[in-house]
Amino acid sequence: MEPVWTDQPMTAERLDGRPVARALRERARDELQRFQNVYSVTPGLAIVLVGDDPSAHAYRDAIVKASAGVEIPTRVVSLPATVEQRRLNRAIIELNDDEAIHGILVLQPLPPHLTRVEIADLIDPLKDIDGITTYNAGRLFHDDRDALAPSTPSGGMALLKHYEIPLAGRHAVVIGRSPVVGRPMAAMLLAENATVTTCHSRTADIASFTRQADILVAAVGKPNTVSAEMVKPGATVVDFGVNFLDGQMTGDVDAASVAEVAGWLTPVPGGTGRVTTAILLRNTIKAATLRVQRKPADGCVSGGDSEDERFGVSDAE
């Protein structure tokens, strides 16, 4: 069914990430205090940064700042863009073996000569705070809400729930199929009973799909991918894009024009990115809990009223 277009412009409400991130950081502080009281351990976070991608550098800076705010120590492992795969692999293995490190994050994108799948297979699943290992990805796609899930789509879901955007029965269209944003976001929306369509670079006539979306998610890493004529009036638009044009951060959505059509829109900056970093902090505490409890990688994290759930992000909204 074609959407009903209107000649009356609307100005989208902002899905502002700031109040959501503040609430999540407060929860992280409380969880960290309880964790330290129980285990007398301070969780440590390691960030692996390869090369000079500006979006990766911006993300690193945001994580370091957020971690300092809740007193989670952070170690940055910086490697040149020319680093060999075996040197990167060795850095990951060393972090796996480091008892002071409870969470490992490898920032994307990696230079093209490096293999993301190989890195995903190397990271200890119990330290995989961005959910890129096949173990955690598999648990997510089995709708295991105690899995260590990717932080970026988890942040998007936290935003939607905070602003009480209806999901069940709604049509969600996700543009992008990366294993760290697009695909897990589709799985999370499906778990909330949305009807999900995934579009990508080979999709013919993407606009014919996006104009049907009650919830439109952009996760392609290309500015101005989504224009106003691609958006159903009143739709909720979630922009995960982090791009830089003339030194200014911008998303994947042409925000100025889309804001006149959409009902809700995440700003860039100030939208999903702020929430993503807060989710990472909670995932680090959750990973530390699994580590000190010595949960085996082939085991299951119990639900209900366990400490794992209290320290987890399943209730991040």
Cα 293 to Cα 205: distance, rounded to the nearest angstrom = 50
- Give the tens place of pLDDT for each residue, 114-135: 988 889 889 999 999 999 999 9
Q: What Cα–Cα distance (Å) separates residue 137 from each residue in 89, 107, 244, 276?
A: 20, 17, 29, 17
pLDDT the model gives residue 121: 86
pLDDT the model gives residue 295: 52
User: How much is the pTM?
Assistant: 0.85
- Give the tens place of pLDDT for each residue, 245-303: 888 889 999 999 999 999 999 999 999 998 999 999 999 999 999 888 865 444 433 33
pLDDT the model gives residue 307: 35
- Ramachandran region, residue 72 (left: φ > 0; alpha: ψ -120 to 50; beta: rest): beta
pLDDT the model gives residue 269: 92
pLDDT the model gives residue 9: 53
pLDDT the model gives residue 147: 85
Q: Which domains does the chain possess?
A: 40-124 (3.40.50.10860), 151-272 (3.40.50.720)
pLDDT under 70 in the chain at which residues? 1-10, 294-317
Count other Cβ atoms within 10 Å, centred on residue 13. 13
Cα 172 to Cα 149: distance, rounded to the nearest angstrom = 20
Tokens of 314: 């399943």
E strands, the chain, are: 13-14, 45-50, 74-79, 103-106, 171-175, 195-199, 215-218, 236-239, 243-245, 248-250, 264-265
pLDDT the model gives residue 116: 85
